[in-house]
Amino acid sequence: MKIIGPFSQIITLQNLPLKGPLQDDELEVIDDGAVLVTDGKIIATGTFASLQTQYPQAFTELIEEPMVLLPGFIDSHTHICFGGSRSLDYAMRNAGKTYLEIAKAGGGIWSSVQMTRAASEGELLLGLVARLDRHLKEGVTTIEIKSGYGLNLEAELKMLRTIQLAKEHTAATLVPTCLAAHIKPRDFEGDEKQYLDWILQDLLPKLKDEKLADRIDIFIEETAFSRTLSVPFLKEAVSMGFQLTVHADQFTAGSSLVAVECNAVSADHLEASGITEIAALTGSETVATVLPGASLGLGMHFAPARKLLDAGCCVAIASDWNPGSAPQGDLLIQAAILGAFEKLTAAEVFAGLTYRAAHALRLDNVGRIVAVHKADLQAYPTKDYRDILYQQGKLKPAKVWIGGEIV
């Protein structure tokens, strides 16, 4: 049993709703606060003095400079297991080339597929662990990771096995997701329906056998899979015991309606979402996950986070860190910039990075500084929590804890 503190402020995010808008005066702020931790879990919060009085036998991990304590961030949408680089894509896009022109020149998702297939498991692991280490240093303690750059049996299994192996090389919590339905690979002999059938019949049983992932994703878009084909695919995946998430409404509206129809845990992207899509998400249990990193990487508008919140949605914020459209990967910078453009309160941004993002992964033991939650925490060198977003991501955590232990 130990007491960690004192902190200038602790932002607990306790008692905030799962859906809808938030004001900063709704935040519980504990001044001169501390956290009591036992066996990796939070037992109590309060002022440093009160916890020392109540638990005189507890060891004290003393914080000697002014700091603000937040829950560890949760990145609920990444593609950080990949081979190679797409810097040429980025340069061509900024030079005015279209997606089709880039693809014809050898870029796009297919180029990442080729480079990922060519990489050994060891090479994939090395790159993945380096990205995990960076995320962890920046306060991201729970990280979802997708496959989707393999697109055949051998390579998809290689990616998902690498993600499993990475759990032995990081203290962060990893959540694997199978995105074999990213695009139809060019070397598949058959149409889109036959490819989705192959995933259901050949790949998903392997995932079950090896316990590699219990979440399935699909990219619904004109350049990927249609809404018509996606619905039966997703419903069959559910019948096999998988949770669902959907790449939805990135360039054209409507696919978030599929996510809602199929009871997906989240619909991610939403840059093209309109009134109909926002209303459907509001009336559902599907989390609206916005990805500002993709907007920054592609030079396009942000998802309508303000409208989604005001309508009553549960809005999570994730990085979409990937080699093509979102290569930056700095979740806090992205969220701070999104907040400035979409006029989000600090409470809304922090909620989107913590307990609301946890709900997108259906995790109920992380994302708030409350009793029985895992003690995944981060502390920023400032006296005022508002400085964190004010500095637009340049203020980084000085300390990060996983299960109450410094990493």
Residue pLDDT, tens place only, 18-36: 999 999 999 999 999 999 9
pLDDT of residue 101: 87
Residue 217 pLDDT greater than 80, yes or no: yes
Residue 100 pLDDT greater than 80, yes or no: no
pLDDT tens digits along 50-74? 999 999 999 999 999 999 999 999 9
Confidence band for 219, pLDDT divided at 50, 70 and 90: very high
pLDDT of residue 98: 83
Confidence band for 107, pLDDT divided at 50, 70 and 90: confident
* Cα distances (angstroms) measured from residue 215 to each of 98, 160, 284, 285, 358: 32, 12, 19, 17, 14
* Cα distances (angstroms) measured from residue 275 to each of 51, 55, 304, 313: 49, 53, 10, 13
d(CA 152, CA 44): 48
Q: What one-letter code names the amino acid at 14?
A: Q
d(CA 243, CA 362): 9
pLDDT of residue 89: 92
d(CA 405, CA 407): 6
* Cα distances (angstroms) measured from residue 124 to each of 112, 147, 328: 12, 12, 18
Mean pLDDT of the chain: 97
Residue 99 pLDDT greater than 80, yes or no: no
Angle made by CA atoms 65, 135, 207, in degrees to the nearest 5: 140
Q: What one-letter code names the amino acid at 379?
A: A
- What angle, 0 to 180 degrees and rounded to 10, lies between the N-to-C axes of helices 121-137 and 153-166? 40
Instruction: Find out whether 363 and 369 touch, Cβ atoms under 8 Å.
Output: no
pLDDT tens digits along 378-387? 999 999 999 9
pLDDT of residue 104: 78
pLDDT of residue 80: 98
pLDDT tens digits along 316-365? 999 999 999 999 999 999 999 999 999 999 999 999 999 999 999 999 99
How does strand 399-402 pair with strand 377-380? antiparallel
Residue 130 pLDDT greater than 80, yes or no: yes
Residue 294 pLDDT greater than 90, yes or no: yes
Peptide bond into 232 cis (omega under 30): no
d(CA 364, CA 293): 26
Residue 175 pLDDT greater than 90, yes or no: yes
Any residues with CB less than 8 A from the CB of 21 and at least 6 apart, and which? 309, 310, 345, 348
pLDDT of residue 105: 82
Angle made by CA atoms 105, 110, 360, in degrees to the nearest 5: 135
Averaged pLDDT, 105-109: 86
The token pair that represents 212 in the structure block: 């590699």
pLDDT of residue 200: 98
d(CA 163, CA 147): 9
pLDDT of residue 103: 79
Q: What one-letter code names the amino acid at 6?
A: P
Averaged pLDDT, 225-235: 98
Confidence band for 106, pLDDT divided at 50, 70 and 90: confident
d(CA 366, CA 378): 13
Confidence band for 42, pLDDT divided at 50, 70 and 90: very high
d(CA 407, CA 171): 7
